Amino acid sequence: MYLGISNIDGGGSKDVTITEAPGGAVPTGSVDPGSAEGPSVQEVYNQDGPGVVTVEVASREVGPGGGSGFVIDKQGHVVTNQHVVDGADSVSVAFASGAREEARVVGEDPSTDLAVLQVDAPKQTLKPLTLGDSEALGVGDPVIAIGNPLNVGISVTTGIVSGVGRPIKAPNNYTINGAVQTDAAINPGNSGGPLLDARGTVVGVNSQIFSETGGFQGVGFAVPVNTVKGVVEQLIETGRVEHGFIGVSMFQVGIGELAAYSGRDAAKLSDELGLPENGAIVSKTTRGGPADEAGLKGGEGREEDVAGLPVPIGDVITEVRGEPVSTPDDVIEVVNSLKPGDDLPLTVVTPGEEPRDVTVRLGVQPPE
């Protein structure tokens, strides 16, 4: 569930400087908010709160709405979620000081659910946040979320990192890899606000919650800041982001997971279906796409019932760049790390045949 609010009441400079925390810092988890070694939650809020904004949007189709965002430089660039500004006819930003400025959308990237805005605001109003390192996070590390939940005003909540490296679905149905899972309370309106480590550096952009009720149930997700850095740089420079694309749809789980679900070991399932014991099953290839051109085949027209699941018997990707594949996410993560024109070596098994090595040259990811 995305966290923008809808139906609530009531070309920029490329000469930018984004502040990043220095490398080689003490790991995040070694400092707790309020401990002798680090700032208190109140100190983090006082430090970073002035750089967190409310994003207000208006749309003829869905009416007023909004979310949160944060300032990243003195040139007035603000990061938020793409789904917050999607389809907006006008956008404005409200600062903690009470100042409100009209904003223009510099660029949007639905594949990572990120957008960059720019406001023409006085330098003293702009309080840039420092970008940290999401790769340094570990499960159990303390985190702090700041945003405008339910349009009540800029608020702060705390929690821990509940999981790292989570795949989540982007607004255009592609996959965002490496998301940070947290139990810090985030609700509709928090979208686009920062998730901070104990020192107050940004480690993610709050984006989604898993909820069966529409309210927060202790499972929230943030786009990792290491993804944010590269996307924001491209959006500021060109207004868009090009992602790599191989043109395959894969069965939702890997062969090992499928075997476990069916109550059989991988070797037995392999014998029955002619599949290798590990890998991601290709269910469909995009006609004329990179994988199709490289000779990969999907399982269209051939399915087998496995414990009540219709499983397409297509080619299986067993290795990516020489590393074994356990799940489709292993393939997606590597593809997301590459750019159009890069070559991707794969090991592929057609059911009942021997493994073969193929090289796929990535194309440009289509909008959906």
List, by residue number, the catalytic residues.
Answer: 83, 113, 191
For 211-233, letters b (16+ CB in 10 Å) and e give beeeebeebbbbbbbbbbbebbe
Are the C-beta atoms of residues 179 and 137 closer than 8 Å to each other? no
Are the C-beta atoms of residues 195 and 153 closer than 8 Å to each other? no
Specify the 3-state DSSP secondary structure of 274.
coil
Are the C-beta atoms of residues 219 and 162 closer than 8 Å to each other? yes
337: its two tokens: 């790390």
Strand partners, 66: 5, 56
Q: Is 35 left (phi over 0), alpha (psi -120 to 50) or beta?
A: beta
Report the C-alpha gap between 172 and 102 in whole angstroms. Answer: 27
State phi, psi for 291 to the nearest 5 degrees: -65, -40
211: its two tokens: 């909820």
Residue 293 DSSP symbol: H
Q: Which residues are within 8 A (CB) of 141 and not within 5 positions of it... i.e. 6 or more apart?
A: 28, 29, 160, 161, 197, 198
Report the C-alpha gap between 52 and 65 in whole angstroms. Answer: 17
Closest by CA position to 207, among listed 182, 173, 240, 232: 182
Burial category of 288 from C-beta neighbours within 10 Å (exposed 0-12, middle 13-18, buried 19 and up)? exposed
Report the C-alpha gap between 162 and 166 in whole angstroms. Answer: 10
Report the C-alpha gap between 342 and 365 in whole angstroms. Answer: 13
